[in-house]
Amino acid sequence: MFRCKYRTMVAHGVVALACVPAAHAWTSVAVQAPSARQGSGSRFPLLLGTSWYPEQWPESRWGADLDLMQQAHMHVVRIGEFAWSTMEPSQGEFQFEWLDRAIALAAQHHIAVVLGTPTAAPPAWLTYRYPDTLRVDEDGRRAEHGNREQFSFTSPRYRRFAARIAEEMARRYGHNPNVIGWQIDNEIGVPSFDASARQAFHRWLEKRYGTVANLDREWATQYGPQTYDAFEAIPLPAKGERSALMLDWKRFVTDTWISYLEGQIAVIRANSSPRQFITTNTMHWNAGFDQYRLHRHLDMAAWDDYVPDGHLDPVLNAAEHDLVRGYKGRNFWLMETQPGYVNWGPINVTLPRGVMREMAWQAVGHGADAVLYWQWRSSPNGQEEYHGSVLGADGLPNPVYPEIQQIGAEFERVSPALAGSTIQAPVAILQSYESRWAMDLQHTRNVDYVRRIAGLYRAVEPLAQAVDIVSPDAPLAGYKVVFAPALSVITTATAAHLLDYVRSGGSLILEPHSDLKAAYETHLSALQPDPLAAAQSHIHGKGTITWMDASLAPGRLRSSVRGTLENAGVHPILAGLPDGVELMQRSSTTRWVWIIINHNEVAASVDTHHPGMDLLTGKGDTTIVLPPHGVAVFALARPE
């Protein structure tokens, strides 16, 4: 018996601008994944799902859980990322029969599965028998068993165990039609400072520089007693170390995480169908490694969106979606988001009613093809047992369930209209991890890299209504304007890439703290700006380079940005929106879909100026009235 009575809603679909009943045919599973390794995630239907941990509960309960998921219109679950001790309870003894049954039962409920490799949570037998696999922090303290991510990312032994469990899983499920994808590990990012990391770092430096003399020259070690005569003499970095060492450490950490993931990716790809995608889940503005470089090895990006204080900043959240979409330049998944509240913030406040729906549709508007809630049911024990969940520990629906159920029904209704759609932005903001690392190392809090990016985004996004946040080496040909805030570390190759964009007619906007350092975090010897050699505003070929101070007060910055965009021919998709109302456009070959959200606490009215239909209400009015936190999904035919 449940706290509330719920009924299964009939799915609806959309063909062009007309609603018709039951357009979906959810057959044996919710998703028959396309060749994900070759195409964009946008080919997936729009999915709602959750993280499900069947190993934590009696098997007799699984059917009831899946019934409730089905009634909430969920069509995907993530399973397994913390279940290593259940999959391999002792060394070399693999037990997958329970997982076989969980996957099969999910399929009977028309729910597909993303399998997580469980390497974020090594079993006790592994870390007890092999303490060399445990991570060591900067102060020399070795991690203990009992949390997560307690392993050393350079440990050869741990990597062998990680690859083995991934391979066993792939052999068993790599061609299972009910498994649509893989998540490698979980929220990676914490480095280790153990003996294997020290050895690996020295080998990495030797490969990069060849000789210590070359390293001394590139690092400019003449300052202070920092000249080295052997790679082994170079310490692992700690706070306050020379910036060139720290910058190379971050590059090493990036390469190490890439090789760590590749160890699992290789065995999965060798034993699985190309239709199964491979991803990992990332966190907010995490700069522990270069996300752009790492994502070149994955099929799509996915991230975890949480608001611990319960107060959504919709513009900052939008920027984070656009950042993740920029990792691969294509649609992404929201692999985790909170059902109400979290338990790890300084103050854990539940989201107001309607904000979960607001967040879900904002994610879709910025390119998400799936939204999954963490977690399905409160854990019976552990450090996150008080985290928000869809069901309580008693197995009954929490108050968030009806709102999630509404989101799922709306996703089913709108999914056909979004098939094949992507975000097409006329403006890009360049985000450089190397520049961020350099600024974090040697600047005061007044020069905060993320704040600089976010401040510029707040000025640009309402005027352009579509922005990509991409790497400085990303293809730039399709953008009318490219902003490069605080691009302090720049190579000759990057400068040439930017100048090619300008010569072809692009508008490049630089700002102070750009073009200050070479690749090794040493000052450029010539007067700045050296590689780009620009004046305040200078024409190169068909385009222009302009310097603009992004640290201006918000009003002045927005005025400056407005003039820059207008000069480049960038105009809002729909002008005249009330403050606090966001419009996002997803485009396919046949239609535009506008997702319009009122982020305000009061109602707002929007005049679309175009004939179309709100797919959520079935109404075709050109005037849309949105209640507080309200959403409209407005479809209109794309002009030929």
pLDDT single digits (tens) 422-431: 999 999 999 9
For residue 188, CA distances in Å to 52, 150, 283 come to 20, 11, 9
Q: What is the pLDDT of residue 299?
A: 98
**Of 467, 423, 415, 418, which Cα lies nearest the Cα of 591?**
418
Would residue 618 be called left, alpha or beta, if left means φ above 0 and alpha means ψ between -120 and 50 degrees? left
The catalytic residue among 187, 403, 521, 582 is: 187
Burial 94-122 (b: 16+ CB within 10 A, else e): eebeebeebbebbbebbbbbbbbbbbbbb
Q: Which amino acid belongs to residue 557?
A: L
- Quick one: pLDDT at residue 222? 80
The pLDDT > 90 percentage for the chain reads: 74
Q: How far apart are CA 246 and CA 251, in angstroms?
A: 9
Measured between alpha carbons, how far is 508 from 602 in angstroms, rounded to an integer?
38
Above 90 in pLDDT, residue 482? yes
User: pLDDT of 614-626, one tens digit each?
Assistant: 999 999 888 999 9
d(CA 365, CA 597): 9
Number of H helices, E strands in the chain: 16, 23
Res 529 pLDDT > 60: no
Residue 382: band (very low, low, confident or very high) from pLDDT cuts 50, 70, 90 = confident
Residue scoring higher pLDDT (293 or 533)? 293
CA separation for the pair 515, 595 (Å, rounded) = 38
The string of DSSP codes covering 572-625 is: -SS--PPTTEEEEEEE-SSEEEEEEEE-SSS-EEEE--S--EETTTTB--SEEE
3-class SS of residue 547: strand
Return the residue matching tokens 């294997």. 196
Question: What distance in Å separates the CA atoms of residue 458 and residue 250, rounded to the nearest whole number?
Answer: 29
Residue listed under structure tokens 């003449």: 222
DSSP readout, 405-446? HHHHHHHHHHHHHHTT-B---SEEEE--HHHHHHHHHHS-TT
DSSP state of 55: G
d(CA 328, CA 273): 21
Per DSSP (E only), the strands in 471-576 are 481-484, 507-510, 537-540, 543-547
Q: Which of 150-159, 169-178, 319-328, 381-390 has the lowest mean pLDDT?
A: 381-390
Q: What are the helix (H) ranges across 504-553?
A: none
In this structure, the number of other CB atoms found within 10 A of the CB of residue 64 comes to 13
Question: Rounded to the nearest 5°, which phi and psi values hold at 286?
Answer: -50, 120
Tell me how far the alpha carbon of residue 323 is from its chain's centroid: 7
Say whether pLDDT at 336 is over 80: yes
Q: What is the pLDDT of residue 43?
A: 53
Which run of H or E residues covers position 97?
helix 97-108
Catalytic position from the list 88, 167, 336, 461: 336
Amino acid at the residue 507: S
Q: How high is the pLDDT of residue 548?
A: 81
The tally of CA atoms less than 13 A away on the side-chain side of residue 331 is 29
Please confirm, yes or no, whether 521 is among the known catalytic residues: no
d(Cα 612, Cα 399) in Å, to the nearest integer? 34
pLDDT at residue 17, as a whole number: 27
Please report how many Cα atoms fall inside a 13 Å half-sphere around the Cα of residue 136, on the Cβ side: 16
Average pLDDT over residues 243-265: 96
- CA-based R_g, the chain, Å: 25
Q: Is the pLDDT of residue 347 over 90?
A: no
Better pLDDT: 638 or 30? 638
The Cα 383–Cα 368 span in angstroms is 29
Domains annotated for the chain, with CATH where assigned, are 46-196+247-418 (3.20.20.80), 427-567 (3.40.50.880), 581-637 (2.60.40.1180)
DSSP 136: B
pLDDT tier at 346, thresholds 50, 70, 90: confident
The pLDDT-based confidence of 8 (bands split at 50, 70, 90) is: very low
| Calpha distance 349→566 (Å, rounded) | 41
Reduced to 3 states (helix: H, G, I; strand: E, B; else coil), residue 13 is strand
Q: Taking 80 as the threshold, does the pLDDT of residue 526 lie above it? A: no
Nearest to 515 by CA among 500, 504, 527: 527
Residue 497's pLDDT band (cuts 50, 70, 90):
very high
Please check the confidence at residue 6 and state whether its pLDDT lies above 50: no
Tokens of 199: 């050895």
pTM: 0.91
In the predicted structure, residue 510 carries a pLDDT above the cut 60: yes
Nearest-CA neighbor of 84 among 53, 44, 108?
53
Give tens-digit pLDDT for 99-121: 999 999 999 999 999 999 999 99
CA dihedral of 44, 420, 280, 259, whole degrees rounded to 10: 120
For residue 315, count other CB atoms closer than 10 A to its CB.
Answer: 16
In sequence order, the β-bridge partners of residue 582 are 597
Selection from 518, 477, 511, 469 nearest residue 494 by Cα: 518
Cα–Cα distance between 380 and 178 in angstroms, integer? Answer: 28
CA angle 584, 585, 586 (to 5 degrees): 125
| Peptide bond just before 375 cis, omega within 30 deg | yes
Mean pLDDT, rounded, for 537-552: 79
Confidence of residue 488 (pLDDT cuts 50, 70, 90): confident
pLDDT over threshold 60, residue 261:
yes
170-193 pLDDT, tens per residue? 999 999 999 999 999 999 999 999
Q: What's the mean pLDDT when you consider all of the chain?
A: 88
Give yes or no: 412 in active site: no
pLDDT range class, residue 527, cuts 50, 70, 90: very low
Closest CA to 430 of 397, 460, 398, 405: 460
Q: Do residues 547 and 534 touch, judged by C-beta distance below 8 A?
A: yes
Least confident interval from 196-200, 353-357, 527-531: 527-531
End-to-end alpha-carbon separation of the chain, Å?
54
Q: What's the confidence (pLDDT) of residue 4? A: 35
* Tokens standing for residue 407: 């989101």
Q: Which helix (H) or strand (E) holds 497?
A: helix 492-503
Q: How confident is the model at residue 516 (pLDDT cuts 50, 70, 90)?
A: low
Q: Which of 190, 225, 231 is nearest to 208 (CA)?
A: 231
Averaged pLDDT, 148-152? 92
Percent of the chain with pLDDT over 70: 87
